[in-house]
Structure 1
C-alpha cells in the first residue's frame, strides 16, 4: 500500500504567517482614531475605546479558538474566527453617525474576539510542525503581526485622508477577508505526521513531544507554573501600553522636531518587528529563561529612563521598550508549549493571556491617576518584579 505523502510543513508555515498578517488589526487604530473622533463627534476617550476593547477581548477569543480546535479542527476554527472578525469590521464600517457604539461593537468586540480565535490556531499549529524550532516558528508567525502595522498604517492613512473612514474600513475588511483564505493551506499534523516529525530526534527540552504530558487548561491553571507565567507576561505589558500611544507627542515635548519624532516612531516600530523575529529564534539557541531575563532587565531600565530622557536617548529607549514587547508576545506562546505541551496550546495560551488583557485595559487609567513620569516608573517596577519572578519559573 502506498504511503501517504506528508504535507510540506514550510507551506503550512508560510500560509499561517500570511493569514496572521491580518491580526495586526489593533495597530491600524492609531490612524483611524482622529478621523473617527472628528467624523462622529466623539471625545478622545470614546474614540480610543475600540482599541481598548479589541486588545482586552483578544484573550477570550484565544480561549474559544483553543476549545473549538478540538471540536471542529484548526482550519475550521481559523475560518470561523476570520468570519467573525471581518463581519465585525464590516459592521464598524457601516455604523451610522448616530450609532458610534457600533464601531466599538464591530471593530472592538467582534473584531477582537474573532481575531483572537483565529490567531490562537495560527501560532499553535505551526509549532506542532516544528517541534525543535518552536521559537523560530513563533517569531515568524507573530512577526507578521508587526509587519502588518508598518504596511497597513500608511495605506489606511492615505485612504482615510481622501475618502474617509467608511471607505477605509471597508478596504481593510476586503483585504483581510482575502488574506484569510490562506487558511485553506493550514492543517494540523496527523498522528503519523507527528511520529515522522519526532522520529530519530528529540524536542527542545530533551524529550519527544509525544512523551510529554499534554496539560488541559484546567490542569494547567492548577499549577504554580501557570500563575508565574501569566503574571510575568502581564507585568511586561504596562511599559509598552503606556509608551506606545505617546511616542510622538512625548518625543516632541522632550525636544524632538516633528520629523525626528516620526523617525523615532518608525525606529520603535522596526525594533518591535526585530524583537518578534529575532528573540524567539535566539531563545531556541540560548534558552528561554536567559533571553527572558535579558529583555526584562532591558525593559526595566528603558521604561524608567523614558520618564526623563530627551532627544536621541528618548528614541533609543522607546525602541528598546518596543523591542522587548515584540519579544514578549512572540516568546510566551513558546514558553506555554514548553511547559504544558502543544495539544491544547490554543486554549492554554488564551488562559495565560487573561492577565495581559486586564492590564492592557487598566493601563490608560494609570496615566490619569499617576501622570506620565510616575506611570513610566511604575511600569519599570512591574517589569523588575517580572524579572525577579523568572527565578521561580
Structure 2
C-alpha cells in the first residue's frame, strides 16, 4: 500500500512478463517476509503503566476528545460503534472495486499497458499524499468534516470513472486512491477520539470489521451485476452511492452521551 505501489509496480510487472505470476509472487513473498522481519524486530513495547496518567487535554476541530477509555465490551454497546463501522464499510467499495480491475478495464478502453502501470504508480503516490494531507486536515477541522470530504471525493471519482478515458481515467483513479489513503489514515484518530487510546489496538481491530465486510461483499456485488445489461457501470454507480451513504452515517454520528466532557486546550 502507499509508496510500495510506486516502487514495486514496475518490478512486479517486469517479473510477470519475463517469468510469470508464480515467480513474481514468490519474489514478492520473499521481499515482504525479509522486510517485515527486519522492521518488526526494531519495535519495542512501551513501558508498563505508560497510560496511567492519561487525560484528555484538548479539542480537535471543535470536537471534544474522549476522556473515558472504552473497553471493547463497552464500545460495542454504543450506537457510535455501529455507525463508525458501517461508515467504514460503505466508504470502501469504490476503491476495493476499481483497484482490482483498474488495469483490465483500462485495457478494454484501449489505454496502453505502460500508461496503466504508470497510473498505478501515480495512484500509489496519491494514496500516500491522502494519508498525510487528509489526516492533517482532520487535526485542524475535525475528523467528521475531513472524512466527509474524503467520501465526497470517493463518490465523485468513482462516478467519473464510469466513462473516463486515457489520462482522465488515470487522474480519476489517482484521486480515488488519495481519498482512500485519507480515509484509512483518519479512521484510527476518529476511533481514539470517540473511545480513547488505552484500548485502541483491539477497538480499532473490531472497527475494521467494516473494512473486512467491504472486501468480501464488493466482489460479490460486482460479479452479480456484471450479468445485468449495465454491467460494470452499475457496479461503479452502486459503489458511488455507498460512499454517499457513508457521508450520511458520519453526519448523524454522535458521541455517547456519558462521554461528552468539556476540556480546555492545554
Residues 1:284 and 2:135 aligned together: no
Task: Tell me the CA shift for residue 169 of structure 1.
Answer: 2.6
Residues 1:148 and 2:25 aligned together: no
1:121-169 CA distance string (max 9 Å, x none): xxxxxxxxxxxxxxxxxxxxxxxxx223433455556667569354553
Aligned pairs (5 A) from 1:102-251 = 146-154=2-10, 161=18, 164=23, 165-166=25-26, 168-184=28-44, 186-187=45-46, 190-191=49-50, 195=53, 202-205=57-60, 212-251=67-106
Task: Tell me the CA shift for residue 315 of structure 1.
Answer: 1.4
Looking at structure 2, the residues matched to 368 and 353 of structure 1 have their Cα atoms a distance apart, in angstroms, of 24
Q: TM-score, normalised by structure 2?
A: 0.81
Q: Structure 1 296/208 Cα, relative in aligned 2: closer, same or farther at 3 Å?
A: closer
1:134 corresponds to: none
Instruction: Return 5+ residue gaps in structure 1 as ranges.
Output: 1-23, 25-145
Task: Tell me the CA shift for residue 207 of structure 1.
Answer: 10
| Contact kept in structure 1, 2:9 and 2:121, CA below 8 Å | no
Task: Tell me the CA shift for residue 286 of structure 1.
Answer: 1.6
Q: Structure 1 326/167 Cα, relative in aligned 2: closer, same or farther at 3 Å?
A: closer
1:269 corresponds to: 124
2:160 corresponds to: 305
1:254 corresponds to: 109
Looking at structure 2, the residues matched to 168 and 276 of structure 1 have their Cα atoms a distance apart, in angstroms, of 24
Instruction: Return 5+ residue gaps in structure 2 as ranges.
Output: 227-231, 254-266
Higher helix share: 1
Task: Tell me the CA shift for residue 170 of structure 1.
Answer: 3.1
| Contact kept in structure 2, 1:248 and 1:264, CA below 8 Å | no
2:182 corresponds to: 327
RMSD (Å), alpha carbons: 2.7
Looking at structure 2, the residues matched to 248 and 167 of structure 1 have their Cα atoms a distance apart, in angstroms, of 21
Q: Structure 1 385/167 Cα, relative in aligned 2: closer, same or farther at 3 Å?
A: closer
After the TM superposition, list the runs of 4 or more consecutive aligned residues in structure 1 that deviate by more than 6 angstroms: 206-209
| Contact kept in structure 1, 2:69 and 2:195, CA below 8 Å | yes
Task: Tell me the CA shift for residue 265 of structure 1.
Answer: 1.7
Task: Tell me the CA shift for residue 338 of structure 1.
Answer: 0.3
2:233 corresponds to: 373
1:296 corresponds to: 151
Looking at structure 2, the residues matched to 259 and 236 of structure 1 have their Cα atoms a distance apart, in angstroms, of 29
Number of aligned residues: 243
| Contact kept in structure 2, 1:159 and 1:168, CA below 8 Å | no
Task: Tell me the CA shift for residue 208 of structure 1.
Answer: 9.7
The secondary structure found in structure 2 opposite 1:343 is coil
Q: Structure 1 253/156 Cα, relative in aligned 2: closer, same or farther at 3 Å?
A: closer
Q: Structure 1 156/255 Cα, relative in aligned 2: closer, same or farther at 3 Å?
A: closer
Aligned pairs (5 A) from 1:21-36 = 24=1
Q: Between the two structures, name the one with larger relative contact order (CA 8 Å, sep ≥ 6).
A: 2
1:87-131 CA distance string (max 9 Å, x none): xxxxxxxxxxxxxxxxxxxxxxxxxxxxxxxxxxxxxxxxxxxxx
Compare 170-179 and 325-334 and name the one that shifted more. 170-179
Looking at structure 2, the residues matched to 207 and 385 of structure 1 have their Cα atoms a distance apart, in angstroms, of 22
Q: TM-score, normalised by structure 1?
A: 0.56
The secondary structure found in structure 1 opposite 2:59 is coil
The secondary structure found in structure 1 opposite 2:68 is coil
Looking at structure 2, the residues matched to 279 and 202 of structure 1 have their Cα atoms a distance apart, in angstroms, of 23
Looking at structure 1, the residues matched to 108 and 150 of structure 2 have their Cα atoms a distance apart, in angstroms, of 27
Looking at structure 2, the residues matched to 311 and 156 of structure 1 have their Cα atoms a distance apart, in angstroms, of 23
1:2-31 CA distance string (max 9 Å, x none): xxxxxxxxxxxxxxxxxxxxxx5xxxxxxx
1:349 corresponds to: 204
